[in-house]
Homo-oligomer: A and B are copies of this chain.
Amino acid sequence: MSIESQVVSPARFSAQIRSHALQTRIMDLILEQGLDVGDALPTESELAAVLGVGRNTVRESLKVLQALGVIEIRHGFGMFVAPNNFSALTDGLAFRGRLSLRHRGEEAMELIDVRQALESGLIGSAIDLMTEEQLGDLRGTMELMEAAAQAGKPLAELDAEFHRKLYAPLNNELLINLMDVFWKVYRQIHRALGSGPVDLGEQARVHWEIYQAVADKDKTLASERLQRHFDGIRLKLKDVAAR
C-alpha cells in the first residue's frame, strides 16, 4: 500500500518511518471501518493485537494521534474519533515561536504576517456575507470589551472572540481554527516574555474602529484598519522582544 511510499532518506530515519506507518495504519483503519466523529475505536489491547505490535507501542502512536487531534482518549472509557481540534498546532508553533525569540523573533513576526494577510485579505468576503444578526453579535462582543476595558480587566479572550466572530460569516471552520491557533500562540509567546504595559482603552478603540468600518460595509477601510491593527501588534512584539 502507500504506507511505505514516503521514503525520506536512506535508513537514517527508518524508526520514524515505522512509527509514522503505524499511525497511518490506525488512521486508515478508522477510515476503512467507516468510523465517524464520535465513534469508538477498538481498545488498546485489540488494536495491539490487530496491528501485531505491543500495547506500549500502539499507545505511543495513539498518543500522537491524540496530539494531532485525530482521536480523543478518555481514561477508563475508550478512544473516539475526535471532532476538529487544532491544539496540536498551537503547541508546536508556540514552541517554535519562543525558540525563535531567543534570536531575533523572526518566527513570531512571520506569524503576525500570516495572520495579517489572512484577516485583511478575507475581511471583504466576510463583510459581504455578514448578516444583521452576526453584526449585532459582533457589536455585543465590542460592548463587552468596552466594559472590560473600563473595568481594567484583560481583554485577551474578548479580543479572540471579536476576531472569531468577524470571520464567522465565511463559515469556514478551518480558518477559524487557524486564526485561533495564531492568536493562542501569540498570547503564549507574549506571556512567556512577560507582557509590557497594556493600554486597554487604546486596544478597545482600535477594535471599535474596525467594527465601525465593518458596520459601514466599507471593505477598503476595514482592511486598512485591520492592517494597522496588526502593525500595532507587530510593534508591541518588537518592543517586548528587545527586552
Interface contact B118-A114, CB-CB below 8 Å: yes
Which residue from B61, B64, B88, B117 sits with its C-beta under 8 Å from A89?
Answer: B88
Contacts of A178 in B (CB 8 A): 114
Asked if B174 and A19 sit within 8 Å, CB to CB, the answer is no
Does A84 make an interface contact (CB < 8 A)?
Answer: yes
Q: Which of A80-120 contact B (CB under 8 A)?
A: 81, 84, 88-89, 91-92, 95-96, 98-99, 102, 106-107, 110-111, 113-114, 117-118, 120
- Asked if A175 and B113 sit within 8 Å, CB to CB, the answer is yes
Say whether B102 contacts A92, CB under 8 Å.
no
Cβ of A143 within 8 Å of any chain B Cβ, yes or no, is: no
Count of interface residues, chain A, beta-carbon cutoff 8 Å? 60
Q: Is A45 an interface residue (CB 8 A)?
A: no
Given the known inter-chain contacts A67-B68, A121-B121, please indicate yes or no for A114 contacting B174, CB distance below 8 A.
Answer: yes
CA distance A172 to B111 in the complex (A): 9
For the complex, is A173 an interface residue (Cβ under 8 Å from B)? Answer: yes
A19-B59 Cα distance, complex, nearest whole Å: 12
Instruction: Give 30 CB contacts A-B under 8 Å.
Output: A2-B191, A13-B74, A14-B75, A16-B66, A27-B91, A27-B95, A31-B99, A34-B102, A36-B99, A56-B59, A59-B60, A60-B60, A61-B63, A63-B63, A64-B67, A69-B92, A70-B91, A81-B99, A88-B89, A88-B92, A106-B173, A107-B173, A110-B173, A113-B172, A113-B174, A114-B175, A114-B178, A117-B121, A117-B122, A118-B121
Q: Which 5 A-B pairs have the closest CB atoms?
A: A121-B121, A68-B92, A110-B174, A15-B75, A64-B67
